[in-house]
């Protein structure tokens, strides 16, 4: 088919659609009547400290956007971790209805289901752009909703940290043996991979990391990226800053809603919550990219810090350990294996496209 035929057929198709739509007008149901007098006052609990840069800020922006778009029908009060409930009780609070919604990251709820971790970040997995593609258009969201429905929840993507840094170390990592005996603050699947390399994953909250690293309780830590790492002051107490963040190449953040409360809303308010979540997703990604670029330059100016890259040999071995961890994870239950198959299949195919697009572009 040449270009002229293609344009002609496209025009005919569009015209036909418009004609059918016009003919069907009388059969459509009347538009839903919107009662603006009905007000909703919701609580949003988060896993982040109050007013936490980017992540906490985004939660307040979400609340503001929803209030504006709903013409004041929904007012959302944002609570940082510890203000209403502890950080890691967000899932249970929203599930039980103690709060109407929450914000966090799905890998925090691995104890509820191992499959949850795939909806946050997987070592050597997909970046932010690819995770969005899988979730929005590759079947990921349907699986996510299927999982959370078991707990009376509905979830939507609400941000992504983008590719993180590999962490701060007080010793050089020249080969895989350098991980042996290393005590590192690293959560989730990355911690399990570290354990296979002979290290020890140490869990600690954000406000404990600096002190633990300074006192030698841990030898290394990952956090997020240059912006947050600089604000935390890690450049003052650790010499080596490694890249890339193999353990979290694109960590998805989530808005979760109590299913009963969400389903009780009129349709237009449901659309507003989903749309504001999508806007939040874009805002967080954009803010991280802008801030990390700015603060990486600040870290480069610190004479006491050496920015390094993990060697190809180290990354290859960590990738092998990751495959072992994921296979063990997928074997735990049928649903986790179902999510694993969807995730890995999509990742394999999207990398094929990336080799001709993103990767090829950056290698020019």
Query: Burial code of 284-322, b = ≥16 C-beta within 10 A, e = fewer?
Result: bbebbeebbeebbeebeeeeebeebebeeebbebbeebb
Closest CA to 315 of 203, 224, 197, 221: 197
Q: What is the pLDDT of residue 13?
A: 47
3-class state of residue 72 by DSSP = coil
pLDDT, tens digit, for every residue of 119-148?
A: 999 999 999 999 999 999 999 999 999 999
Q: How far apart are CA 304 and CA 275, in angstroms?
A: 44
Question: What percent of the chain lies above the pLDDT cut of 70?
Answer: 91
Domains and CATH numbers, the chain: 40-160+250-290 (3.40.190.170)
Residue 362 pLDDT > 50:
yes
Q: How far apart are CA 149 and CA 152, in angstroms?
A: 5
Residue 7 pLDDT > 90:
no
| In 134-239, beta strands by DSSP E | 153-160, 167-169, 183-185, 200-202, 220-221
- pLDDT category at 34 given cuts 50, 70, 90 is confident
Q: How far apart are CA 156 and CA 64, in angstroms?
A: 18
The pTM is what?
A: 0.89
How are beta strands 252-258 and 153-160 bridged, if at all?
antiparallel
pLDDT, tens digit, for every residue of 167-214?
A: 999 999 999 999 999 999 998 899 999 999 999 999 877 778 999 999
Q: What is the pLDDT of residue 2?
A: 57
Residues found in the chain = 364
3-class state of residue 91 by DSSP = helix
Residue 11 pLDDT > 70:
no
Dihedral sign (CA 347, 353, 358, 360): positive
Q: How far apart are CA 265 and CA 244, in angstroms?
A: 43
> Considering the chain, what is the average pLDDT of its residues?
92
Q: How far apart are CA 314 and CA 319, in angstroms?
A: 9
Q: What is the pLDDT of residue 156?
A: 98
How are beta strands 220-221 and 167-169 bridged, if at all?
antiparallel
How large is the average pLDDT for residues 72-86?
A: 96
- pLDDT category at 27 given cuts 50, 70, 90 is low
Would you call the peptide bond into 244 cis, given omega within 30 degrees of 0 as the criterion? yes
- pLDDT category at 258 given cuts 50, 70, 90 is very high
Tokens of 16: 């036909």
How are beta strands 40-46 and 153-160 bridged, if at all?
unpaired
More confident residue, 362 or 160: 160
């Amino acid at each position: 088919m040449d270009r002229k035929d293609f344009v002609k057929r496209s025009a005919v198709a569009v015209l036909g659609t418009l004609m059918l739509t016009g003919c069907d007008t009388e059969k459509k149901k009347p538009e839903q009547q919107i009662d603006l007098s009905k007000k909703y006052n919701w609580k949003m609990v988060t896993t982040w400290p109050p007013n936490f840069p980017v992540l906490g800020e985004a939660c307040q922006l979400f609340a503001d956007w929803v209030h504006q778009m709903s013409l004041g029908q929904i007012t959302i009060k944002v609570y940082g971790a510890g203000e209403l409930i502890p950080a890691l009780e967000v899932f249970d609070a929203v599930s039980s209805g103690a709060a109407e919604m929450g914000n966090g990251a799905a890998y925090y709820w691995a104890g509820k289901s191992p499959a949850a971790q795939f909806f946050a970040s997987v070592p050597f997995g997909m970046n932010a752009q690819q995770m969005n593609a899988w979730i929005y258009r590759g079947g990921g969201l349907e699986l996510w909703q299927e999982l959370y429905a078991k707990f009376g929840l509905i979830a939507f993507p609400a941000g992504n940290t983008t590719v993180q840094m590999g962490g701060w170390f007080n010793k050089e990592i020249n080969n895989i043996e350098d991980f042996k005996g290393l005590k590192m603050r690293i959560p989730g699947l990355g911690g399990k991979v570290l354990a296979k390399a002979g290290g020890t994953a140490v869990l600690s909250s954000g406000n404990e990391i600096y002190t633990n690293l300074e006192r030698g309780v841990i030898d290394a830590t990952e956090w997020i990226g240059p912006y947050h790492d600089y604000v935390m002051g890690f450049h003052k107490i650790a010499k080596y800053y490694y890249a890339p963040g193999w353990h979290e190449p694109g960590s998805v953040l989530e808005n979760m809603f109590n299913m009963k409360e969400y389903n009780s809303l009129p349709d237009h308010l449901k659309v507003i919550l989903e749309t504001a979540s999508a806007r939040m997703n874009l805002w967080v990604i954009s803010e991280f990219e802008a801030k990390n670029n700015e603060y990486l330059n600040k870290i480069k100016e610190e004479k006491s810090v050496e920015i390094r890259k993990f060697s190809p040999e180290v990354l290859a071995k960590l990738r092998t350990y990751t495959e072992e961890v994921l296979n063990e994870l997928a074997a735990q239950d049928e649903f986790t294996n179902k999510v694993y198959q969807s995730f890995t299949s999509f990742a394999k195919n999207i990398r094929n496209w990336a080799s001709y697009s993103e990767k090829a572009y950056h290698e020019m």
